[in-house]
Copies of this chain bind each other. A is one copy, B any other.
Amino acid sequence: MDFKSKFNNWAERINKALDGYIIEKDTPEKTIYSAMRYSLTAGGKRLRPVLGLAVCELLDGDVEEVIPFACAVEMIHTYSLIHDDLPAMDNDDYRRGKLTNHKVFGEAMAILAGDALLNSAFEIMLEASAREAEGGVSPKVLANRIKAMGIIAKASGASGMIGGQVVDIESEGKKIDKERLLYLHNHKTGELIRASVSIGAIYAGKDENIMSAFSKSLGLAFQIKDDILDVEGNCEKLGKKTRKDGEKSTFVTLFGLDVAKEMLKEETNKAVLALEKVCADTTFLKDLAYYLLDRQS
């Protein structure tokens, strides 16, 4: 199967699983389910969960088992976008070509939908783990589940993704240095991408850091590309306002477009090089790295 078909297959499995996790119940709080589903099904690339599945498979793990955790990461990613888009934060009206959550459901509901998605991530991971515990899996497996949840929790928390968003907000309108820019993105985008790779490895019974050189470079490349697209990208293809980072320091504003493009190539090559050291068929991940390099949205 070619890269794109394989990616789409996995993304579809994730979409199906996500669809089953958030059901529109006819209970008094039903609006929250619509608000959660709205953003969860708004056309995300599913990069993070697919990474988790791909890493798990190539390291000989059972992909089926990692799905709730991969979906949890996608829920956390989605909640972070809903909250980032709020008027008090980036104040964005469009995301992935659709109105942002608060534009459709109002600010209060958007805040709560974000809260609920973050909460839901832990609900589904804990439910899946409780089912396994009841099924009588070994203490080693249970310990591994707890470890995987802990890695995701730390990656998305104050010293992880949220911390990156704090630095982003506090850096607005200021010229920041390279060190701070790297810190910002290593946390805001990098942590969750690295966590996705780590849980894939853990579910395959491997050390969580076995592919961290790859995931670190991939995460950084991803962000540099985002900054380049913000300048060069097509607003329609991106589905959001471009050049909105005018008041923010980015890899492009800090180093210029040409250097940023060089950095992107360099980090992508570093990611691919890191894969060479993994004793497994890493073709899909290499293709993924180059696909992200060339993406237009």
Chain A residues within 8 Å of B, Cβ to Cβ: 25, 27-29, 31-33, 36, 79, 83, 86, 88-89, 106-109, 111-112, 114-116, 118-120, 122-123, 126-127, 129-130, 133-134, 138-139, 142-143, 145-147, 149-150, 153-154, 156-159, 162-167, 169-170, 180, 183-184, 187
Contact = CB atoms under 8 A, between A and B. Distances in A.
B157 A116 contact: yes
Given A28-B163, A32-B158, A119-B162, A127 B108 contact: no
A120 B158 contact: yes
Contact of A108 (B79, B89, B107): B89
B130 A143 contact: yes
25 contacts: A28-B167, A28-B183, A29-B187, A83-B111, A88-B111, A109-B166, A114-B115, A115-B118, A115-B162, A116-B157, A118-B119, A119-B153, A122-B122, A123-B154, A123-B157, A126-B149, A126-B150, A126-B153, A130-B150, A133-B139, A133-B146, A139-B139, A139-B142, A142-B143, A142-B146
A223 B33 CA distance: 26
A123 B28 contact: no
A46 to B, nearest CB: 22
Copies of the chain in the assembly: 2
Given A119-B158, A170-B31, A143 B134 contact: yes
A164 to B, nearest CB: 7
A270 to B, nearest CB: 24
A214 to B, nearest CB: 25
A88 B108 contact: yes
A146 B143 contact: no
Contacts of A147: 130, 133
Contacts of A138: 139
Given A28-B180, A112-B162, A122-B153, 15 more contacts: A25-B159, A29-B167, A32-B162, A33-B158, A79-B115, A83-B111, A88-B108, A108-B169, A120-B157, A122-B149, A127-B150, A139-B139, A139-B142, A142-B142, A146-B146
